[in-house]
Structure 1
Amino acid sequence: MKRMKMSALKLSIIVPVYNVEKYVEKCLESLCGLRIENEIIVVNDGTKDSSLEIVERFKENHKNENIIIISQENQGLSEARNNGLKAAKGEYISFIDSDDFVDTENYEKFINEVIEDKVDIGIGRYKKIIEKNNGTELECVTEIRNYDKGEIRTGKEYFDIMYRNDMHGPEVWDDIFRREFLLENGIFFKKGRMHEDEIFTAETLLKASKVRFYGIYYYNYLQRENSIMSTKSLKNYQDMEKNINEIYDFMIAEKDSRTKKLLEDEIHRLYKIIIKHSKDYKEENAIFRKNYSKFLSEHGENKLKKIVTRIKKSIDKKIKKIKSS
């Protein structure tokens, strides 16, 4: 494939927008003032509330910021991100959900370190925030991924590290990606699919040559009522099984035995989640169980090894807590 010219823009921030009139201004405000050549690509996914008007007014009042607005008929989060990625010109891509917000100073620090390292994927840290008193107050309930800056490794090596240290997280909004890496490998989100991050993250890690963890909290993930992730429908579980089928294909094609086993473990993990949480859909739950039984007959779990690993992780956490106290 013909190599693309290096972009003068360092960062493209892609922000899909759909019915977030209460949150989008705070999100955009947190992305302003970066001392990095960037563009903020807001993708209006056919929003039905006043979100678009808020974004347009924000752009008018922040002419010093490079804000681009793209509008499309409602096609879902995946396609909004895809269209933003296709329009992007930055060297790196950052996907930000429009009901979340960043710590601007730490975000800038994170981006600068990733650009300096020239990695394919930079992995950050995030805080989980919940709304209180009808959204008038925000509370940080937990800080996710308790680790410091790591070494530059391959994506497969970090896939292994994440599982061994119970740090696996498929979300893309606390990572940034080298645009050329994504385009050269044809990596986009699955159109119309929920839990779209699961496959995107797996595929990027399997194909990335240079990945690094950065011990920088910059992303604030807002857990709110009626969000996509807090409302579980049958489609959630059906789409998770679609992800499983694609991960299975990755597993079959994988030549590295350790990575193949990790992908197998991921299938076990996802099937257990589906079966546990889809009990309200009795007919479909039975199908999920049948499909998992078939997978188990060919790829049984090493339960003793899992118990030993779980005990080791628990001991390591307690030791780390004692040392930090």
Structure 2
Amino acid sequence: MDNIKVSVIVPVFNSSQYIGATLDSIINQDFDGFEIIVIDDGSSDNSLEIANEKLNQTTVPNTIIHQENQGVSAARNKGIEVSNGDYLVFVDSDDYITPNHLSELYNGENDFSLIQAVKKDGDTISKPHVYSQDIISTKEFIEMELRMQIPFSFVQLMYKADIIKNNSIRFSSEYIYGEDIYFALIALSYGDKIAISNEATYYYIQHSQSAVRTSQFRRFDVVKIFEELAVFYKKQGLNDLSQLVITSRIPRAIFGNMNYFFYNGYDFDEVIGKMKELDLFNKLSKFEGDSKFKLKIRLFLLNPKIYYNVWKRLKNSID
């Protein structure tokens, strides 16, 4: 295809309730020269039929691929493989974008560009992050993410396709959690600058359902993928970033997911047992950085049960 500036990649799996609105939001962009690539990852509902119906009615160039269920990473990778655009954008099948999403992202000059994303739960919309600069180096941005100083999701970025394809950067199908942030942090290390827009053009739709306990502690798998990231950075000679993964991003991921399990009613002894099995206490102790967070970690490591009881009491007082 000629004159395709941007490929919008949409992985779909059993999203019949949302995919129509998602595709409408992409079709109705105030931007010329883009294509839509939908990868149906073995849906058992009528998602594929809805996608076909929507895309048959538009003049926007599009491709629909149906494959056996292999997971969202494989679907996104297929989208990368068949894409024709100079840049890549990812949209999840239960979210939506505003009409100026692509025009805010695209300038054709920088390796990456970034917009702001917000969460929408009914009529409630979260506040977007605001950056003070229009351009930021990829190195500085990576450092900010590894310190978790900024909210960030891989869908906020527009990626130069040559960086992704020439360096064989793909989503890892081995992991359920963290494969998307890993993709972004690898890709960013090959670039130079990120153009920043403070426009909130990506909407995560929060589904009002009680937490479903299906993860079986798989959320802790994110530690493994960050360890792989640390190894990658070290091989690239980015020793400072590698060290930052170990001393900041991994401890923060451990602590955040531990509290997620506590908040969602997982048994204390099961959580602690899993953490010991995965050697997460040792990895948590390597944290360096913010003094308040470091104190929380120290108190937890000193006596996990007391920390848990205090946390639970404070949580209940807020609830």
The amino acid of 1:140's aligned partner reads T
Structure 1 position 23, deviation (Å)? 0.9
* Aligned counterparts, 1:182-221, within 5 A: 182-195=164-177, 196-221=179-204
Shift of the alpha carbon at 1:86?
Answer: 0.4
- Residue 50 of structure 2 aligns with an amino acid whose one-letter code is I
**Offset at residue 243 of structure 1 (A):** 1.5
User: In 2, distance between residues paired with 1:144 and 1:94?
Assistant: 19
- Kept in 1, the 8 Å contact 2:250–2:284? The answer is no
What corresponds to 1:291 in structure 2? 279
Higher mean displacement: 198-207 or 11-20: 198-207
Distance 2:170 2:56 in 1: 31
Separation (CA, whole Å) in 2 of partners of 1:91 and 1:152: 21
Kindly indicate whether the alpha-carbon contact (under 8 Å) linking 1:151 and 1:212 is maintained by their aligned counterparts in 2: yes
Corresponding residue for residue 313 of structure 1: none
Could you say what the CA RMSD is over the residues aligned between the two structures, in angstroms? 2.9
Query: 1:149·1:215 contact (CA, 8 Å) conserved in 2?
Result: no
Range with bigger deviation, 12-21 or 248-257: 248-257
Question: Which residue does 2:313 correspond to in 1?
Answer: none
Per-residue CA deviations over 1:108-138 (Å, capped at 9, x if unaligned) read 321333x2xx22221110121113xxxxxxx
Q: How does 1:1-325 map to 2 (within 5 A)?
A: 8-34=3-29, 35-62=31-58, 64-104=59-99, 106-113=100-107, 115=108, 118-131=109-122, 139-153=123-137, 155-162=138-145, 166-169=149-152, 171-195=153-177, 196-225=179-208, 232-234=214-216, 236-250=218-232, 252-253=234-235, 255-256=237-238, 258-264=240-246, 265-278=248-261, 280=266, 282-283=269-270, 285-289=272-276, 291-295=279-283, 299-302=286-289, 304=291
Provide closer, same or farther for how the CA distance between residues 255 and 65 of structure 1 changes in structure 2, counting only shifts above 3 A: closer
- Output one character per residue of 1:152-198: Cα deviation in whole Å (capped at 9) or x when no partner: 42x112123446682142x2212110111011121110115222212
How far apart are residue 307 of structure 1 and its match?
Answer: 6.8
Amino acid at match of 1:59: L
TM-score for both structures, normalised by structure 2 = 0.79
Distance 1:302 1:14, change over 3 A: closer
* Aligned 8 A contact 2:105 2:114 in 1: no
Number of residues paired by the alignment? 287
Counterpart residue type for residue 216 of structure 1: E
196-205 vs 50-59, greater mean Cα deviation: 196-205
Q: Which runs of 5+ in 1 are unaligned?
A: 1-5, 132-138, 309-325
Q: What letter is aligned with 1:146?
A: V
| Unaligned runs of at least 5 residues, structure 2 | 296-319
Deviation of 1:296 after TM superposition, in Å, equals 5.0
Note the alpha carbon deviations across 1:221-263, whole angstroms, 9 max, x for none: 1111469x97651253243232233133235446445423432
- Seen in structure 2, the aligned counterparts of structure 1 residues 182 and 220 have a Cα distance that, compared at 3 Å, is same
Is the contact between residue 147 and residue 244 of structure 2 (CA under 8 Å) also seen in structure 1? no
Preserved CA contact (<8 Å) 1:93 1:179: yes
- Deviation, structure 1 residue 144: 2.7
Decide which moves more: 259-268 or 247-256: 247-256
**Taking structure 1 as reference, are residues 79 and 150 closer, same or farther at Cα in structure 2, changes over 3 Å only?**
same
Q: Is the 8 A contact 2:106 2:158 kept in 1?
A: no
Residues 36 and 108 in structure 1, CA contact (< 8 A), matched pair in contact too: no
Question: What SS class does the counterpart of residue 94 from structure 2 fall into?
Answer: coil
